Structure 1
Amino acid sequence: MSKFRISSISIRYAIPGLLALVIIVAIGLTAWLSYRSGLSSAETLALRLTQEVSSRINDRINSFLELPHIFHEINVAVLDSGGANLGDFEGMRKLFWGEVSVTKSVPYLYYATSEGYFLGIDTSFGGEPVFKILDEASAPNRLTYSMTAGGEPLEELKSSEYEPRERPWYKAAVAAGKPTWSPIYVFSAFPVLGISPVRPVYDRFGNLEGVLGIDLTLSEISDFLGSLEISPNGEAFIVQRDGKLVAASTGEQPFTEADGAQQPLDAAESQNLLVRLTVKHMLERYNGDFKNIAEGEDIEFKEDGETYYARIDIISDERGLDWINVVVVPSRDFLGPVLANLRYTALFGAIVLVLATVLGFLLSSWIIRPIFTVTDVAAKIEDSVWDLEPLHVVVERTDELGQLARVFEKMANEIHARETELKRQVVELKIQIDQKKLKTQVNEIVESDFFQGLQEKAKNMRDAARRKK
């Protein structure tokens, strides 16, 4: 089997083929380098975005959670200065009303005394403030009143049995003995999950007088996370160390319904696929326990052929708060420009390839046409037809092909001249040969016995004739 050789390819196809090959290699290499650079840029952008969003979440959550404690500090200062006391329900109502009237960041201010009495002003549900009180006269029931625009109790709306000292927020404050956070629990007035920053209040002898509290619903945090512009398919969520979901940008509620009550939802059981995948890989990374997360870091994981980037940060304070903030984005959200650039490169490459192929065929025709002319003239010369007229067009060219044609023309003229001279010499030689042959034949005849006898007879006849005369 003969080996393939480049010299066996026609110039008509070799030139377009080589041009197309060069362009394909160049465009392919450019596209590959562009794609690799785009991947690197996408990864950098994804990491930067997750870090920035996570930082915003940390700042906002820290501010959101710090403000209630500031109100506690203010109220403790008022109590310590004698401006109010927990036994003065009228004075405490006015103090709380003034505070909930100036900000929506503390929607529900309340306190409970060590005797089991309770007072609070709640604006967290429905927007209309209500006044709640459990005193010696109403015990063991807590009464709920509507309020006037000036903060005065107006109409009794509800009466229900209530023991504040059995509530998770009260127990957390007493157990800590200092400002702290309650566990996430179900609120009593409305069956929703929330958390309460609380602070115990002591008299000058160190005896517990009561506990100050503010309710914060987890939905407020979820609403904030949902308002963030992350990426088209990115999500942010917050989990506790035990893996329970605190809040998420997904729009789902971070709890499950069981027997009419809400229970915290395991993040691994989230309705959102991205949250579940992220939690799965986090558990694999941290040996199945979020308590092993000691500091913030960036992680990358793959699932079903797609890369995901996540930023993990810790939200904590000196009061016992210890949450994990996670921002995760899929790589496809950042590969859009890269893939679009590849499509544009491919389209541009296809156009250039077509143009180059057409140009290659035109170029090959431009080169081959004079070569064919020289070839045709050479074929005619081979058949002894000396017609160099078609060659004149090529001879007039100033490029290499014109130079080749001129050399060929000169060579053809020289060959023609030599052939003409050779023919003339052949004719002359033939004539000489014929004359020599004729002379030889004449000599042979003259010298033959027959011719000698004839000459002798002729001589005798001439002599006889002269004698007769």
Structure 2
Amino acid sequence: MVSIRKIIPALIVLPIFAAVGVTGWLSFRSGQQSVEMLVRKLSEEVSDRIESEVVTYMKHPQVFHELTLAAIRSGNLNAADFGQLERYFWHQMRWDDSIIYSYYGNEAGEFIGINVIEEGKRVLRIRQQDLGSSRRTYELDSQGNRVGEISVGEYDPRTRPWYQNAKTLGKITWSPIYKFQSQDVLGITAVAPVYQPAGTLQGVFAINISLAQLSDFLNNLEISPAGAAFIVERSGTVVASSVIENLLVEGETPETDSPEDPNRLLAVESVNPTIQGTARELLNRFNNLNSIQTAQTFKFSLNGKMQLVAVNPIQDGRGLDWLIVAVVPESDFMGYIHENTRRTALLSLGALVAATILGIAIAKWLIQPILRLSATAQDIELGKFDPNSLTEVVNRSDEVGQLARIFQDMANKIYAREQGFKTQLSLLQNETDKAKKAMLLTQMSDSNYYQQLLIKSKRTRSKAEEFKKIDIAELLKKVSYFQGFTESEIQGLIDMGYRKILYPGEYVCREDEAGDAFYIILEGSVEIFVEKINKFLTNLGVGTFFGELSLLLGIPRTATVRTREDTVLFVLDREGLQKLLRNYKDLAEQIAQALHEHKAELESRKELLQKMGLLEDEEGFNQNPLGWIRNRMATLFGL
């Protein structure tokens, strides 16, 4: 028995310990959850903001192409008139400074384009049949007029990848990312083929845009002190990054405008640990970046610190297929929480020390008179009661003193009666012992008593031995659902569940209980009834199953099941059934068909299904209950 000297201080101090500890933990946990929610929202908002910027930035060239094609169809622009195209490209680039090169090439090998080669400096590049096979480059003034020839070189647009790509696909699309010849930057080309009325290709319009502006935008984006953002292609190569680093690694310079650039920087090789670690986590988590087709958020540990990641695929239907990744370290926002936790811990420690001292003092004041009463009670038990032992406590004027006076009066009376009770108790014990001995002798004299006990023992041993000899594999093969299973599949099925042996009249499950198992009858039989209204439903025998309705649909048991004879069941819990249904889709369909036969029972449970939020599509349930059952099974078991 626990001493009152320990229990009273504990009852005073422990609740304070618990209250302070729980309050501190809840405060820390609440703050941590709030920070996690804030960081997750921030990472998602950063990702969405980047997506909006990318969509806007990458949309301009395609819009220009749409306008160009519309102008050609309406007759306002003639692709064969290079003078008109020269003016058109000039005004086009003046309107949008993100375009660094706008040009056109045709099937005759002719070419015209305006290119930004330096800040504010533009040149005209042109090749016409009457000028030979050379492409000439002219410097342009602020009004777009030619002021002098800069260079002459061989060039045929029909052999270029951007031209071939547009010719092959036959629609507005994007080129692969490559390094521009005129500038040491990565860029991408939007191309749009133009066709003659007869349907033959006339030429291709193209617009180059630099991806450096995307990196500048990411670099200037306020994420968090240690946060990072980057854009990658499905191959894992970096398109843009919030970290200033060279996106072209050292090596041989690839052919200008080449769609295959082996010297692009992979995200997993970034100099930034956050970007590098996040890229590796994406590959480990999704195996292949091509499998990320929807927005994803997750968190992972990098160097002991949790990172929250938001991933957004961006596709424009014209060949653009990138992933936007925003990473926010949880530690950037946890400093306040840890500081608050330290202050709370110090205040809690002070409160606990004060509460402990106060609790011990209060306990001592309460315990002393109680211990005196306890010692007196022990003296009474030992027959050594001294009426003067409570003098100090009796003289108190509070409730304890009143209790002591009553206790003293009671003690005098009890002590006087105790001796008589001991004598009577001894006599009663003797009489009881005599009666027990007489009853035992009477039972032993009755031969039927031993005979019935022996029969019951033999029957129990016999059943136990019989059940041990049951071959569960052979019994499972007799069940229609498993007749096509091989020996190894039967053994795998046995490993998923377990055998359960019941005697007549035992309950397997009861209505309104949570459905946690699926039962198959291997030997014996059961009866199914509604216990609340005492309504018999049916009997089930070998090879049948039950319990699937509540387990598969996630609802309480709808009936009570009780054995009618010695019964052997094969039991699958939720995890085992889920594994079985995933491995054997045909079995899932058979069970769904069997569930469909319970339509009347499901109808009676419609109100319960609605209350549990399982029947949002009531019309679909009424029109196609089998489809509803399949969908519910797929939701619960991930089929």
Q: How does 1:126-165 map to 2 (within 5 A)?
A: 126-136=119-129, 139-165=132-158
**Paired-residue identity, %:** 39
Instruction: Tell me the distance in 2 between the aligned counterparts of 1:145 and 1:20.
Output: 91
* Residues 172, 191 of structure 2: 8 Å contact kept: yes
User: Which residue number in structure 2 is paired with residue 286 of structure 1?
Assistant: 286
Q: Is the 8 A contact 1:311 1:328 kept in 2?
A: yes
Alpha-carbon offset, residue 137 of structure 1: 5.5
Distance change in 2, residues 1:143/1:354 (3 Å): farther
The aligned amino acid for 2:268 is A
Would you say the 8 A contact 1:27–1:345 is kept in 2?
Answer: no
1:275 partnered with 2:268: no
Q: Which amino acid aligns with 2:182?
A: A
- Tell me which amino acid in the other structure corresponds to 1:55: D
Please give the secondary structure, in 1, of the residue aligned with 2:333.
helix
Cα gap change, 1:30 to 1:260, in 2 (>3 Å): same
User: Tell me, what secondary structure is at the counterpart of 2:307?
Assistant: strand
Shift of the alpha carbon at 1:122?
2.3
**Uncovered stretches (5+) of structure 1, i.e. residues with no partner:** 372-394, 408-469
1:71 is matched with: 64
From the superposition, tell whether residues 24 and 259 of structure 1 become closer, same or farther in structure 2 (CA, over 3 Å).
same
Higher RCO structure (Cα 8 Å, ≥6 apart): 1
User: Where does residue 384 of structure 1 map in the other structure?
Assistant: none
1:317-363 Cα distance to aligned partner (Å, 9 max, x none) = 12121111222222212323322321231233345456657877998
Matches within 5 A, 1:217-366: 217-261=210-254, 263-287=263-287, 289-353=288-352
Q: Give CA deviations for 1:106-144 in whole Å, capped at 9, x if unaligned.
A: 332111122222222223642322222233365544333
Distance 1:44 1:171, change over 3 A: same
Task: Pick closer, same or farther for the CA change 1:344–1:168 going to 2, 3 Å.
Answer: farther
Q: CA deviation at 1:152?
A: 0.8
Is 2:36 the partner of 1:34? no
Q: Distance in 2 between matches of 1:65 and 1:48?
A: 25
Sort the Cα spacing of 1:18 and 1:204 in 2 relative to 1 into closer, same or farther, 3 A.
same
Query: Which residue does 1:376 correspond to in 2?
Result: none
Verify the 8 A CA contact 1:245 1:255 in the aligned structure 2: no
> Matches of 1:144 and 1:186 in 2, distance apart?
20
Alignment of 1:150-229 (within 5 A): 150-229=143-222
Measured after TM superposition, the shift of residue 212 of structure 1 is: 0.8
Q: Is the 8 Å Cα contact of residues 19 and 360 (structure 1) preserved in structure 2?
A: yes
TM-score, normalised with respect to structure 1: 0.70
Q: 1:140 to 1:189 in 2, by over 3 A?
A: farther
Instruction: State the TM-score, normalizing by the size of structure 2.
Output: 0.52
Q: Which residue matches 1:93?
A: 86
Runs of 5+ unmatched residues, structure 2: 255-260, 370-394, 406-639
Q: Distance in 2 between matches of 1:194 and 1:116?
A: 24
**TM-aligned CA deviation for residue 199 of structure 1:** 0.3
Q: CA deviation at 1:237?
A: 1.5
Q: 1:252 to 1:280 in 2, by over 3 A?
A: same
- Separation in structure 1 between the aligned mates of residue 344 and residue 168 of structure 2, nearest angstrom: 66
State the superposition RMSD in angstroms. 3.6
Contact 2:140 2:147 in 1 (8 A): yes
Cα distance, 1:186–1:139 mapped onto 2, change above 3 Å? farther
Counterpart amino acid of residue 279 in structure 1: A
For the 8 Å contact 2:99–2:210, the answer to whether it is kept is no
Letter paired with 2:304: G
CA distance in 1, matches of 2:222, 2:310: 15
The question of whether the paired residues in 2 share the 8 Å contact of 1:109 and 1:213 is answered with: yes
What CA distance in whole angstroms lies between the structure 1 residues aligned with 2:25 and 2:131?
78
In the other structure, the counterpart of 2:475 is none
Deviation per CA, 1:361-408: give whole Å up to 9, x if none: 99899x79xx9xxxxxxxxxxxxxxxxxxxxxxx9x99889x89xx9x
User: Counterpart amino acid of 2:272?
Assistant: N
Change (3 A) 1:358 1:162: farther
Of the candidates 37, 44, 49, which is equivalent to residue 44 of structure 1?
37
The answer to whether the 8 A contact 1:184-1:195 is kept is yes
CA deviations on 1:2-26 (whole Å, 9 max, x unpaired) are: x9x86678xxxx97x9877655443
Alpha-carbon separation, structure 2, partners of 1:399 and 1:107: 97
2: CA distance, partners of 1:275 / 1:257:
20
Structure showing greater Rg: 1
Distance 1:205 1:281 in 2: 52
- Conservation of the 8 A alpha-carbon contact between 2:310 and 2:325: yes
Contact kept? 1:168, 1:183, Cα under 8 Å: no
Aligned residues of 1:39 and 1:338 also touching (Cα < 8 A): yes
1:91 deviation in Å? 1.2
